[in-house]
Amino acid sequence: MAKASTKTNAQNLQGNNACALAAVAAGCRFYAGYPITPSSEVAERMSLELPKVDGTFIQMEDEIASMGAILGASMGGVKSMTATSGPGFSLKQENLGYGVIAEVPCVIINVMRGGPSTGMPTRPAQGDVMQARWGTHGDHQIIVISPASVSEVYEQTVRAFNLAEQFRTPVVLLIDEVIGHLVETVHVPDPASLDVVDRKWADVAADKYRPYEAGKDMVPAMARPGDGYRVHTTGLTHDESGFPTQDPETVDRVSKRLLNKFDPHRKVIDHFEELNVKDAEVLIVSYGISARAARGAVKQARDAGIKAGLFRPVTIWPFPEKALVKAAKKAKRILVAEMNAGQLSLEVERVLGRDRVSGVNRIDGEAISPADIIDAIGKGA
């Protein structure tokens, strides 16, 4: 995300701390949250960093209120963020849906742990993939990103804010516990060198402004508080004026615009990594810390004469299906490595069919190792 610049500062950073520093660099000036393992370091660091930039940190009474607070701050014109883990993410879902239908830009950090319920607070997992996509009710779209290193936590946090602002949407950053607590050297760019996106502000006459009227880019302009625009915001299905409607023709039109508004922008939204996919006969699909193990497994397999490759979705939702189809063109087998019982596997099966797809899964609170993946490759040989 950084512009060409030699101004970097090498720091040993924990993933959660990198997330907080990146948020502030991206322009976040409001944080509301409630402490929860293993994400609490994000809040702790934000409480230190935001006062330095005249930002606001507030510890709320619970996760429901936290989500409501960042929506309110964003509607007030301020870039905002919250952070949580599985149980708190569950509590955020109703207000997250409000953010989707009202098209309120914000960033939600979910440092995943074992579940369901309170599960294993200090153990890693990747069990919130489908919740991030479908946790709030009703048909909707959302952007979900999953970094695989501390440096990438920094980069993708900045990108999460940019996507939220550009497309007027909540963006979820899924960080598993290992990445959240991992300490690595990060070359932190000078904030002045970052490409930072701000939302599209209304610039028409006040009497002509309609808060949910969109042009060719399908993203409505927001009203800057104090500029004299009248805005009505509701969680009810609404027309371009923002006022509720149940007229079938209107509901169909505005709902389809909301569902399809990411489609023209997939080149910007989709982000993925490929390793040795051109001739891969065994393609591993993985994300987060599991992808680190997959990268090691690909090297070991190649050293043993097995044509293995890695496809890593960084943007998990919307799922980069066209890129996956291309990467899997020569693959006879697809192994989906993830720390859950097979959540992303469902999406891979939808795209590629079930015949070639199998899972490498752990749900015991331990991270997947390269040996787990090599063993799975051997079983299918």
Residues with Cβ within 8 Å of residue 32, at least 6 apart in sequence: 58, 59, 60, 65, 66, 69, 70, 73, 80, 82
**Cβ neighbours around 271 below 10 Å, total:** 18
Give the integer Cα–Cα distance in Å for 202 and 221.
5
Q: What is the pLDDT of residues 241-283, one digit of tens each?
A: 999 999 999 999 999 999 999 999 999 999 999 999 999 999 9
Contact 271, 315 (CB under 8 A): yes
The Cα-based distances of 136 to 33, 91, 96, 293 in angstroms read 19, 10, 7, 31
Estimate to the nearest angstrom the gap between the alpha carbon of 199 and the chain centroid: 18
Q: What domains does the chain contain, in order, with CATH numbers?
A: 8-193 (3.40.50.970), 272-379 (3.40.50.920)
Res. 361: pLDDT tops 60: yes
- What is residue 379's predicted lDDT score, i.e. its pLDDT? 85
Per-residue model confidence (pLDDT) at position 381: 54
pLDDT of 6 = 55
Mean pLDDT of 134-149: 97
pLDDT at 54 over 90: yes
| Backbone phi and psi for residue 220, each to the nearest 5 degrees, phi listed first | -70, 150
List, in sequence order, the alpha helices (H) in 32-114: 40-49, 63-75, 86-102
Q: Say whether 6 sits in a helix, a strand or coil.
A: coil
What's the pTM?
0.95
pLDDT digits (tens, 9 = 90+) for 70-93: 999 999 999 999 999 999 999 999
Q: What is the mean pLDDT of residues 165-171?
A: 98
Tokens of 37: 């393992």
What is the tens place of the pLDDT at every residue in 278-293?
999 999 999 999 999 9
7 has a pLDDT exceeding 90 = no
- pLDDT classification of 8: cutoffs 50, 70, 90: confident
The angle subtended at Cα 171 by Cα 90 and Cα 335, nearest 5°, is 80
Section 42-58 average pLDDT: 98
Q: How far apart are CA 176 and CA 133, in angstroms?
A: 16
pLDDT digits (tens, 9 = 90+) for 303-346: 999 999 999 999 999 999 999 999 999 999 999 999 999 999 99
Residue 35 has pLDDT above 50, yes or no: yes
Q: Residue 60 class from Cβ within 10 Å (0-12 exposed, 13-18 middle, 19+ buried)?
A: middle
In order of 214, 256, 285, 348, 373, the CA distances from 218 in angstroms are: 5, 10, 32, 28, 42
What pLDDT score was predicted for residue 3?
46
Residue 2 has pLDDT above 60, yes or no: no
**If residue 310 lies in a helix (H) or strand (E), which one and from where to where?**
strand 308-313
Q: Is the pLDDT of residue 380 over 80?
A: no
pLDDT at 173 over 50: yes
**71, 101 Cβ separation under 8 angstroms:** no
- 52 touches 81 (CB < 8 A): no
Q: Which of 338, 363, 368, 359 is nearest to 115 (CA)?
A: 363
Average pLDDT, the chain: 96
Inform me whether the pLDDT recorded for 213 exceeds 50.
yes
